[in-house]
Amino acid sequence: MSPLRSASLVLVIAVALPLAPIAGAAEPLCPAVPPRQPAAYVAHVNEVNRGLSIPADYAARHHLRLQPEAQHLVQAPRDVYGRKVEMVAPAAAALKRMFAAAARDGIKLETVSGFRSFAYQTHLVREKLRRGMSITKALEINAVPGYSEHQTGCAVDLTTPGIPAADVSFGDSKAFRWMQQHAAEYGFHLSFPRGNEYGYEYEPWHWRYIGRSAKAG
């Protein structure tokens, strides 16, 4: 290649670069529908779930979507036991704003659980099997590893004083009524209402943030 041609090629690349899309920059971190996952990740999840004797067609039959695992986490409000809770940045920020708004209305919201890794979710299901629970029952309580919304860092389990953690009675609390009225203003949505299509038990405590990109915060 002549020096002149290679110089003009460099120029073309330099001009073209700023116009090239930056991969993922505008993608919301917490989309309503998770993007298609890489084949290697799909294969890994399938292999782990085979090891837990989860039927190969279980996820498809329950309309479950494979969830990406969050990579960058920040601190969300600590849980009721004072332990650290992690979520992706926009979800944690929205949660703090929502807690503050609830507090102004005299409602105390508290976290129970935020991000849970694929490995930890696998551990939770494995422990239930080890204690003799059937896989069918275990999967009514814990999501199939790879399919938990907690893995995305966008979902959170909440409670309020006087209600046990992850208890259906949260659905009868003042805090839950406040959430029904206001959570959507902060991007939070109830994932598993009564009679949900996924076959999960009613989970009034489990809310998922759907919203903005990391950049928009």
The reply to whether 128 sits near Zn ion by the rule CB under 5 A is no
Rg, the chain, Cα only: 21
* Distance in Å, CB of 25 to Zn ion, minimum: 29
**In sequence order, what are the residues at sequence separation of 6 or more whose Cβ sits closer than 8 angstroms to the Cβ of residue 126?**
52
> Between 49 and 116, whose beta carbon lies closer to Zn ion?
116
**Looking at 5-13, 21-29, 68-76, 205-213, which segment touches Zn ion (CB under 5 A)?**
205-213
206 forms part of the interface with Zn ion (CB under 5 A)? yes
Shortest approach of Zn ion to residue 130 CB, angstroms? 22
Binding of Zn ion by 157 (CB under 5 A): yes
Instruction: Return the structure tokens found at 208.
Output: 């998922």
Size of the site for Zn ion (CB under 5 A): 2
Tell the smallest beta-carbon distance from residue 203 to Zn ion (Å): 6
State the nearest-atom distance from the C-beta of 62 to Zn ion, in Å: 16
CB 207 to Zn ion: min, Å: 8
Q: Minimum distance between the CB of residue 205 and Zn ion, rounded to whole angstroms?
A: 7
Integer Cα distance of 158 and 128 in angstroms:
23
Interface mask (CB under 5 A) for Zn ion, residues 95-114, using x and -?
--------------------
Alpha-carbon dihedral 191, 196, 199, 200, rounded to 10 degrees: 40
- In whole angstroms, what is the distance from residue 12 CA to residue 7 CA? 9
The window from 76-84, 86-94, 138-146, 155-163 that contacts Zn ion (CB under 5 A) reads: 155-163
In this chain, which stretch among 37-45, 46-54, 66-74, 198-206 interacts with Zn ion, using CB under 5 A?
A: 198-206
Strands (E), 11-154: 28-30, 74-76, 85-87, 110-113
What's the rounded Cα separation, in Å, for the pair 102 and 128?
35
Q: Which stretch binds Zn ion (CB under 5 A): 4-12, 85-93, 132-140, 206-214?
A: 206-214
Q: Are 151 and 37 in contact (CB under 8 A)?
A: no
| Pair 47, 172: CB distance under 8 Å | no
Nearest in space to 118 (alpha carbons), one of 142, 83, 95: 142
| Number of residue whose CB is nearest Zn ion | 206
Residues in contact with Zn ion by CB under 5 A are: 157, 206
